[in-house]
Amino acid sequence: MTELLRRIDASDDEIAAALRHAHLPSLANSLIHLTGDRALLKTIVPTPMTLGNTPKPFPPEGEEQLRDLALQTLIKGRDHGFKPQPIDQSFLLDMMNFITGVELKDDYIPYALSELDIAPTQETDPLKPEHVGDFHVAIVGGGMSGLLAAIKMQELGVKFTIYEKNEEVGGTWFENRYPGCRVDSPNHVYSYSFKKKDWPQHFSNQPTLLGYFQETADEYGLRTHTRFQSEVTEMRFDTSSKTWQIEGNGPNGLFKDTANVVIAATGQLNRPKMPDLPGIDDFAGSWFHSANWDYDVSLKGKRVGIIGTGASAFQFTPEVVKEAKQVKVFLRTPPWVALNPVYHEYISDESHWLLNNVPFYQAWFRFHMFWTSGEGLLGQARCEAAWNDKEHSVSSGNERLREVLTKGLEHQLAGRDDLIAKLTPWYPPTAKRMLIDNGHWYRSLKEEHVQVIDERISQINQAGLQLESGEQHDFDVIIYGTGFSASKFLFPMKIYGRDGNELREHWGEDPRAYLGVTTPNCPNLFFLYGPNTNLVVNSSIIFFSECEMRYITNCLRHLLENDYSSMECKTEPFEAYNEFIDDANRNMAWGASNVNAWYKNKHGRVTQCWPGTSLEFWQQLREIDPSDYIFTRGDALVQDGVVGTAGFEPATT
């Protein structure tokens, strides 16, 4: 294991001052990694924590011992150079166990080496030009996953075009501009593994994140490959040429194109969902969905109604409260809130210095963030068969989590028993995505000019809205924080597969895919952020997209190096995989609970969530199994390496 070691240019006092800001478990592992001193694994022991970024303190004597050792080690390295000791895989596993407080399986070793910044990121090996020819990949979407796909196509040496419906890259971070918008995963895991950044905050805001993806597009020269304001409306697979025929609307009207492969990187949360309420258009005041925030509408001194308390409303409500004269929040299902004191905090200059100068510190910091922000919580979301009170929790660990979250809520809302009653969820933690905050939302709801109403709305009318009891509430502005149509995957695009049938009509609101990345009857079509690849508590969606893109890249490599024209997932592995997904999701809080969530379709099936660990997701997408696919070479069918008769026998889907 190697790392480029920077020369430290800081005085003893400056190093000591920076160490006062250190994330101690990461610092401890950095020293162990740098010195190869196994004794430190036993002499300085962190207290693990799985909620939030900040672990419980070391014992005071352990803190000072660690900082003193770090100071002496860094001074010595500054003056005489760093000489990292070789670390074998057994030692690496011990260090991972040390920082997580959990006995991890050996399977985590290759996973950590490959993905979590503990070893240098590997680029994709390019294909030989004779294998590529005029092969063309269409990438639908220029957000986080679309840009990732483009970068990997560059590395592979394949021609590509990005079709982006907006006038700029960035996807959700370009479209969602409501006040207070920010990420709810730590930025050191919500970022590409190959593109580091000195993040200004632990959880950065929308302008910072949009800038990150714009910088990525510029750095990799992706704009020249992008057709902006070009929305793909229809794709048809041509069985004779084994290509996708693409149509769409661009700045100059209708366009047509052809691609050998399509990577759909359209995202899941980009089509605003309005509530099914009569009279929405009858309202005489101003109204808008948070995804289409109207900054021309002033909220100063206005009576504002907010419908919804999901992730977006959770972030914009405190900002509205600062401006409006009166705010009424209409609540249907209160969220569980994981309190994190650094959620709105800036990262200090000293912390940035540590991340950029202490050998291995950034790698272990990212690993720790990765674990505590998700992977370490997954066990608390899993059901116990013998657990009786499944209405409120699904296991002993889930009940402990409920107690921690409830205490935090009660502390934040102390003195407001009315709000505690309304805002305490009745369902198990992790049945819906937990929201991250430092208490900002709770505090805003305690303001004198704010009212939380948990009665159902019956209709919108000219003056405002009416509750089921008949009570009327009048407003100047109504803001809908009612989420997105997540189960309408790929909407409104029409995709006609090999047999001529339209994919979304076949799916309805029940999208399914093999490994989350492909589906039968659609040769050479791949998804990023596809069905059952979303997250509730574990990992980073960017990490998941990188796993998916590695698999897709391996598919293209196999396709081109073997001179195949197309590849299509077989029905049998597709069906077996979805049975596994459904069984596993039923054993998680979000699948077992009857609470309404955007993870589920109208029939109650979980169409969005991955039910396993991030390790398991990484493992299933690490390599392609050619036996899962039917290939063609020209008109010949190739199955399990055997060339058969011309043409396809229709698959049953």
Instruction: Verify that 68 and 180 share a domain, yes or no.
Output: no
Asked if residue 317 is part of any domain, the answer here is no
Asked if residue 423 is part of any domain, the answer here is no
How far CA 406 is from CA of 56, 184, 346, 429, 611, in Å, comes to 19, 20, 27, 10, 25
Asked if residue 395 is part of any domain, the answer here is no
Instruction: Verify that 85 and 167 share a domain, yes or no.
Output: no
Average pLDDT over residues 6-10: 85
Instruction: Verify that 530 and 497 share a domain, yes or no.
Output: yes
* Sign of the dihedral through C-alpha 67, 4, 186, 405: negative
How far CA 427 is from CA of 9, 400, 537, in Å, comes to 53, 14, 16
Asked if residue 49 is part of any domain, the answer here is yes
- Is pLDDT above 50 for 53? no
- Is pLDDT above 50 for 455? yes
Whole-number mean pLDDT of the chain? 91
Instruction: Verify that 137 and 257 share a domain, yes or no.
Output: yes
3-state secondary structure of 617: helix
Report the b/e string of 450-489 with b at 16+ CB within 10 A.
Answer: bebbeeebbebbeebbbeeeeeebebbbbbbbbbbbbbbb
Instruction: Verify that 497 and 620 share a domain, yes or no.
Output: yes
Average pLDDT over residues 526-532: 96
Rounded Cα distance between 334 and 555, Å, is 43
Q: What is the pTM of this model?
A: 0.93
> Which of 346, 372, 398 finishes a domain?
372
pLDDT digits (tens, 9 = 90+) for 409-436: 999 999 999 999 999 999 999 999 899 9
pLDDT digits (tens, 9 = 90+) for 171-206: 999 999 999 999 999 999 999 999 989 999 999 999
| Number of Cβ atoms within 10 Å of the Cβ of 615 | 19
How far CA 278 is from CA of 125, 217, 275, 282, 389, in Å, comes to 56, 43, 9, 9, 37
Query: Which of the four pLDDT bands, split at 50, 70 and 90, describes residue 488?
Result: confident
Average pLDDT over residues 569-590: 97
Query: Which of the four pLDDT bands, split at 50, 70 and 90, describes residue 20?
Result: very high
pLDDT digits (tens, 9 = 90+) for 98-151: 888 888 989 999 888 876 666 555 567 899 988 999 999 999 999 999 999 999
Instruction: Verify that 521 and 545 share a domain, yes or no.
Output: yes
- Is pLDDT above 90 for 470? yes
Average pLDDT over residues 625-642: 89
Instruction: Verify that 576 and 639 share a domain, yes or no.
Output: yes
Instruction: Verify that 150 and 244 share a domain, yes or no.
Output: yes
Tally of structural domains, the chain: 2
Length of the chain counted residue by residue: 653
- Is pLDDT above 90 for 391? no
Rounded Cα distance between 305 and 299, Å, is 11
Q: Which range (34-48, 154-168, 399-413, 551-565) has the least confidence?
A: 34-48
> Which of 372, 401, 433 finishes a domain?
372
Asked if residue 638 is part of any domain, the answer here is yes
Strand-pair partners of 478? 287, 305
Report the b/e string of 88-118 with b at 16+ CB within 10 A.
Answer: eeebbbebbebbbbbebeeebbebbebbbbb
Asked if residue 277 is part of any domain, the answer here is no
The CATH code of the domain that includes 136 is 3.50.50.60
Asked if residue 63 is part of any domain, the answer here is yes
| Number of Cβ atoms within 10 Å of the Cβ of 345 | 13
Asked if residue 594 is part of any domain, the answer here is yes
Instruction: Verify that 170 and 185 share a domain, yes or no.
Output: yes
Instruction: Verify that 147 and 165 share a domain, yes or no.
Output: yes
Instruction: Verify that 623 and 553 share a domain, yes or no.
Output: yes
The range of the structural domain enclosing residue 589 comes to 129-271+486-646
What radius of gyration, in Å, describes the C-alpha atoms of the chain?
Answer: 26
Beta strands in 11-151 (DSSP E): 136-140
pLDDT at 123: 66
CB contact set of 128 (below 8 Å; sequence gap of 6+): none
pLDDT at 645: 56
Q: Which range (54-58, 130-134, 214-218, 616-620) has the least confidence?
A: 54-58
Average pLDDT over residues 47-69: 65
Instruction: Verify that 158 and 265 share a domain, yes or no.
Output: yes
pLDDT digits (tens, 9 = 90+) for 433-446: 899 999 999 999 99
Query: Which of the four pLDDT bands, split at 50, 70 and 90, describes residue 650?
Result: very low
> Which of 341, 372, 403 finishes a domain?
372
pLDDT digits (tens, 9 = 90+) for 314-331: 999 999 999 999 999 999
pLDDT at 52: 40
pLDDT digits (tens, 9 = 90+) for 256-298: 999 999 999 999 878 899 999 999 999 999 999 999 999 999 9
Beta strands in 50-181 (DSSP E): 136-140, 159-163
* Sign of the dihedral through C-alpha 579, 580, 586, 590: negative
Residue type, position 262, single letter: V
pLDDT at 647: 47
